[in-house]
Homo-oligomer: A and B are copies of this chain.
Amino acid sequence: MEPPRALLFDVFGTCVDWRSSIIREGEALGRRLGLGTVDWAAVADAWRALYQPQMETVRSGARPWVTLDVLHREALDRVLADAGLQGVPESDRADFTLAWHRLDPWPDTVAGLHRLGQRFVVAPNSNGHIALMVNLSKRAGLRWDAILGAELARAYKPQPEVYLRGVEALGLVPSQVMMVAAHNVDLVAAAACGLRTAFVPRPTEHGAGQTTDLRPARPVDVVATDLGDLAGQLGA
């Protein structure tokens, strides 16, 4: 097959370990506020569990497109209430919401992306907005050629316009672009738009004992163990 010209990346879960990072930020918040024993892993999971239902309110047209900062904050208020943490002050809620701008990369991400960027155009195609992607990437050392994704399309994956707007912005056609993700739903949607697909499983994204997204649900062009392996398989 002819190599792709550009690689689009899912970020939350594929490039960064959101769960460990949110737990880390929660523990710091707990220490700062003297909150005592809190199950921050449960908080992280509950927070993330609201992600798809919230985006669905945008995808369905029930509300206009808003950034993940807005969705994350609304969800956080519900999660803290459910966890009995109503006392967390406003300024700490605002800061904790921005924990999603401070997620740590998986160990292979920085070097793998660097290698891939030597050969291909690389860009996030994330549901995170531009400011979140810029802040996260600057902090984590992720180097991109552009920031594509939800904000450019004013839609949320897996809506096809997110993939197609990213491809168009690069001046390419879908078959010249490969979507890289740890999530089957993302790759199925990308493939339906004509993009090529690379599955990079992240078997501890949801912690030990994860049972989802361990292998491709549909045929993909490449399966790689991490971004370094992907670089090797793509000749980068």
Choice from B69, B143, B144, B151 contacting A169 with Cβ under 8 Å: B151
Q: Does A50 contact B (CB under 8 A)?
A: no
Cβ–Cβ < 8 Å partners of A151 in chain B? 169
Choice from B135, B138, B148, B171 contacting A171 with Cβ under 8 Å: B135
Query: A160-197 vs B: 1/0 string, CB under 8 Å?
Result: 00000000011110000000000000000000000000
Q: Which residue of B lies closest to A132 (CB)?
A: B171
- How far, in Å, is A1 (CB) from chain B's closest CB? 22
Q: Does A134 contact B (CB under 8 A)?
A: yes
Instruction: Please report the C-alpha to C-alpha distance between residue A131 and residue B137 in the assembled complex, in whole angstroms.
Output: 20
Cβ–Cβ < 8 Å partners of A132 in chain B? 171
Is there contact, CB below 8 Å, between B121 and A171? no
Choice from B133, B137, B145, B152 contacting A134 with Cβ under 8 Å: B145
Residues 90-145 of A contacting B (Cβ, < 8 Å): 121, 123, 129-135, 137-138, 143-145
- How far, in Å, is A119 (CB) from chain B's closest CB? 11
Instruction: Please report the C-alpha to C-alpha distance between residue A171 and residue B152 in the assembled complex, in whole angstroms.
Output: 14
Instruction: Please report the C-alpha to C-alpha distance between residue A158 and residue B147 in the assembled complex, in whole angstroms.
Output: 23
Is there contact, CB below 8 Å, between B121 and A170? no
Q: Does A146 contact B (CB under 8 A)?
A: yes
Is there contact, CB below 8 Å, between A145 and B152? no
Instruction: Please report the C-alpha to C-alpha distance between residue A129 and residue B145 in the assembled complex, in whole angstroms.
Output: 13
Central interface residue in A69, A130, A144, by most chain B CB within 10 Å = A130
| Interface residues in chain A, defined as those with a beta carbon under 8 Å from any beta carbon in chain B | 69, 121, 123, 129-135, 137-138, 143-148, 151-152, 169-172
14 more A-B residue pairs beyond the given contacts A129-B169, A129-B171, A132-B171, with a C-beta to C-beta distance below 8 A? A121-B138, A123-B134, A130-B146, A130-B171, A131-B169, A131-B171, A133-B146, A137-B145, A144-B145, A144-B146, A145-B147, A146-B146, A146-B147, A152-B152
In the assembled complex, 17 residue pairs joining A and B whose CB atoms fall closer than 8 Å, in A order, are A69-B171, A121-B134, A121-B138, A123-B134, A129-B169, A130-B148, A131-B169, A131-B170, A131-B171, A131-B172, A134-B146, A134-B170, A135-B171, A143-B143, A144-B145, A146-B146, A151-B169
